[in-house]
Structure 1
């Protein structure tokens, strides 16, 4: 069987409500899932698994975790029962160790919405094995980028690697009751700066996140931007798959790295 090389992706996974009301990004993810060669497996680094050390989920059947509160009951009924793949988790741990990145297996971690939210739209049948890797809070942007560089060879085994976060993420600034709210300048300028640097393959400028205009207002904490650093390590050719804003300030961009 001839294996095809898949891209690396950065997906802004948005609010959990997108599972029920997909807005523009649900159909964009659906199209992407139909257009890509079908993955043998999927590896996701999620903003919602912050850890001390680097961890890799080795569970055979991870539970679907509804790691949020105060949303409609229908959301808590959703499941994403895709299997895990302990052999792939082992392979990932081996690659990381060879690169000098210390990591360990976690067989009990449930699957957070940073993983299952986008996958519900990408691969709704939930029949492709999924392995989650954590976001180590002690790592610098360069070290998270190195995790991506270390795992990018998996792309040649028809494995889809995804950084799941958000291009902008300031929940205090969201217009929760108006999906079509006007996008403020500080959000659009931040997003446009990042895209311009990625377009010119100036990854250094993005990894140097402290100097990005309006960083504090768009990311009061860094965990939703950090999966982008991982995705940047996966490939050099950058393209935009989708771009939109939800509730005024929540950037819903999807980026592809080949």
Structure 2
């Protein structure tokens, strides 16, 4: 058990959006992420666990590596983006602890000793923790399963907060398909309606509604035709513990359809 001073009460869900924010300062959420340590979370965690939308597996997998090689899992972007580095150390001890907690709660969990960080992790962390001096590991999502599965996954990981681990779900609050028309006049009404529903459900403590969003949320199929960018939220929500409070800490949009809402979950 970590000392009292090392305990963490918060988990987070961040919308990482497009990797273009690495070279384009006008991407809306970049400035928010750059103010992370000054305005959002000033404590330095012992290590960071990122649940990334960009790692989909059949069963939960966590990467147990000593150094964080980067995965440039995007295509057709400007050449300088493929030269970016984020040399944070890996967190193999944390990975083993994640596996222990998940197996202890009845989940399967596999250690991957080769995979580095994909852009769901290193792009936002570049701005949140630019010194790259905090050990990081990643946990995958199971996009063929449901929100309830990921919420329970998070609940199994709740003890990590007491051990000084910052749990971050990284996805996008609204992530339509590439074929969905952009909106040049403000925010698309369907996107705003879904995003407002999500905000109200979370901040009202209706986590069960968020778990069952396909039955409860308006326009969910437009907002998340594939769920991999949504499920990291469910893990962060579950990891926050019983009776936690959710707070919207950022909201912005790109093209009127890509949502950058970010949430803080604080345990009692």
**TM > 0.5 between the two?**
yes
Superposed CA offset, 1:121-155 (max 9, x none): 10011110001001123432111101111112211
The answer on whether the counterparts of 2:143 and 2:227 sit within 8 Å (CA) in structure 1 is no
Of 38-47 and 153-162, more deviation after overlay is shown by 153-162
Superposed CA offset, 1:47-83 (max 9, x none): 1000111101001113111101011111111111111
Match for residue 226 of structure 2? Answer: 221
The answer on whether the counterparts of 1:60 and 1:84 sit within 8 Å (CA) in structure 2 is yes
Match for residue 72 of structure 1? Answer: 78
1:113 to 119, 126, 134: 119
1:183 to 148, 164, 187: 187
Distance 1:41 1:50, change over 3 A: same
Aligned residue for 2:52, secondary structure, equals strand
The answer on whether the counterparts of 1:42 and 1:130 sit within 8 Å (CA) in structure 2 is yes
Shift of 1:244: 0.8
The answer on whether the counterparts of 2:28 and 2:253 sit within 8 Å (CA) in structure 1 is no
Matched residues in 1 for 2:185 and 2:122: separation?
A: 26
* 2:11 is equivalent to residue 8 of structure 1: yes
1:29 to 33, 37, 53: 33
Superposed CA offset, 1:95-131 (max 9, x none): 1111111101001112110011110110011110001
After TM superposition, list the pairs within 5 Å mapping 1:37-186 onto structure 2.
Answer: 37-170=43-176, 171-173=178-180, 175=182, 182-186=186-190
Runs of 4+ in 1 over 6 A off after TM superposition: none
Gaps of at least 5 residues in structure 1 are: none
* 2:220 is equivalent to residue 206 of structure 1: no
2:236 to 231, 240, 258: 231
Match for residue 242 of structure 1? Answer: 250
Matched residues in 1 for 2:96 and 2:28: separation?
A: 36
Q: How many residues align?
A: 255
Distance 1:174 1:78, change over 3 A: farther
The answer on whether the counterparts of 1:4 and 1:37 sit within 8 Å (CA) in structure 2 is no
The answer on whether the counterparts of 2:172 and 2:229 sit within 8 Å (CA) in structure 1 is yes
Shift of 1:192: 0.2
TM-score, length-normalised on structure 2?
0.91
Shift of 1:31: 1.9
Distance 1:216 1:125, change over 3 A: same
Gaps of at least 5 residues in structure 2 are: none
The answer on whether the counterparts of 1:42 and 1:128 sit within 8 Å (CA) in structure 2 is yes
The answer on whether the counterparts of 1:181 and 1:246 sit within 8 Å (CA) in structure 2 is no
Matched residues in 2 for 1:239 and 1:201: separation?
A: 10
Shift of 1:174: 5.9
Matched residues in 2 for 1:165 and 1:184: separation?
A: 20
**Could you say what the CA RMSD is over the residues aligned between the two structures, in angstroms?**
1.6
